[in-house]
Structure 1
Amino acid sequence: MMKPVPGMPPPDLGQLVRAQDRISFIYVERCTVHRDGNAVTATDERGIVHIPSASLGALLLGPGTRVTHQAMMLLAESGSTAVWVGERGVRYYAHGRALAQSSRLLEAQAIAVTNQSSRLRVAREMYAMRFPDEDVSQLTMQQLRGREGARVRRVYRDAAAEYGVIWDRRDYQPDDFDASDTVNQALSAATTCLYGITHAVIVALGCSPGLGFVHTGKDRSFVFDIADLYKAEVAIPIAFEVASREPEDVGGETRRAVRDAVHESKILERCTRDIKTLLLPGEQDDIVEWGTVELWDGGDRTVTGGTNYGAEEDND
């Protein structure tokens, strides 16, 4: 008789919350992250906070954080992502694996990104989402980049005027957060939060963060692609609003504002829908995120995995 697998059993797949319905992210620092049943705990001198893992999108682990093996195992089993970030959450260092058992979207992404025509189609669709009143179906990538650059500059100017913030240009020091002015600090914090959120959705759906359509050459190219769909709506106005108040904790105020905006604007739900629309256009069914292992059988055929097909070899 086989011995039972040691440790607490993983949560039931039926108990897990879909990516679009999860809490966007939680940021912790200077604490110990552990596990209590099917909840992640964060402990510091003030006490213990329980976080339901099955409803969490991304756990951002800031400086001074210690995380146990049991906590990481629970996050992986729950389809959540752990992201190690720097001071105030504005630097990305590494991320943990999220559990996505279906490769359907990943395969569609790989096929689309490796064909020039389909890659251009997806890139145009991404820009079309940002220019809903324009026909971009015939524009080249160079023309699309020009349109996007002009749009972003206009968004910066409008936000600066609305909140009365002096604005020159995007300027930040990756190695020195405090070297930038307040609005650039807030922009760095807001975009990092947005990257963490979109990264969590991408891996929860089983896609590759590195296979981008507009961005390329980085391990998070697709993250940057998807985050850009919402940056002008979420990150930029929030950064200027926070900067206008000149708070003492720019990073913390920005993170909390992004968290609230993501919830109010249903960004997780939209992000999930947008990724599915981009990679599998025209499909209206709800794509299942949890799949089963199959074996390729040539052409478009598959057969059930976990089966001994030795008899077929004997017949041959």
Structure 2
Amino acid sequence: MQFIDQADIEVEAGKGGDGIVAFRREKYVPAGGPAGGNGGKGGSVYFRANEDLQTLLDFRYNHRFKAADGGRGGPNNCTGANGKDLIVDVPCGTVIYNAETGEMIGDLTSGGQTLLVAAGGKGGLGNKHFLSNRNRAPEYALPGLPGEIKLLRLELKLLAEVGIIGLPNAGKSTLISSLSAARPKIADYPFTTLIPNLGVVRKPTGDGTVFADIPGLIAGASQGAGLGHDFLRHIERTRILLHVLDGTSADIIQDYTTIQQELVAYGKGLELRSQILAVNKIDAVDREVTDLAVLQTQLSEISGTKVFLISAVTREGLEGLMQEVWQTLEQVNQEQVDHLVSF
């Protein structure tokens, strides 16, 4: 399955049905009068969040969505049928923008949530509506109004509580495969991971927490370099960040600084998100060249947070790391609850 997280589409609501001009012509009913019915309302276009969808792939091949038009009014004061609404399913986490103005129309985050994106046109009035003491036989009616037409941009932002970030080949995919049932492509060259990978990691309580492996962050990612610019948006929804560093790198401090600078450059408060640092691949580190204890202290002083030494391959240090993840996640969730209660 292709991972598509952006799409541009056009939506058009249905046109309202026309009102008609008609008169009652029945035996034994003298001067029956106007009896033209109103047109039906045009169908509207709604988006609905669907938990079974994971990508915007369907919108790559289908760019236009139109709801049904309303029915024309009928004689004997019959109102035309309303046009059927069109409901378009999108993945949870889809943000809808007006492509022309850039204004955000809505954000669908939970399954079953719906959003009206284009309203159907009103039906036209039949000549019955214009009956008055002055005009006992109106011979005109109104056409239905057109439905809204909008150009939309869809952006999918993954819904994950923990985002795994780091430079290419830091071992992020190996880590998520060790912690969950996710099986991303893993190889010993940069940019092995071309799309975000999701994995569900079980808490000690048995609840599942979604982790996202965010690929392709390099220097300049926030300005479009590498793959990171395309996927930085997926970090926006995460509650905490798990920053994985390559223990075999020639300059781990610089690697850490590079990612932090990209988070700041991207904005939207990513640099303020709670972070946990993990130096990976300690099983492959030359201990005669690199003193891990000294490195751990240096990183902790620079970042102001705990630093864990792990090996995603041998699973060394993962238990302590995950305990910190659960504690931090619980703390962040509680802070959010307290913030809402204060309002």
TM-score relative to the length of structure 2: 0.23
- The answer to which structure has the higher strand fraction is 2
- The answer to which structure has the higher helix fraction is 1
Give the number of the structure whose alpha-carbon radius of gyration is greater. Answer: 2
- RCO comparison, higher one (Cα < 8 Å, 6+): 1
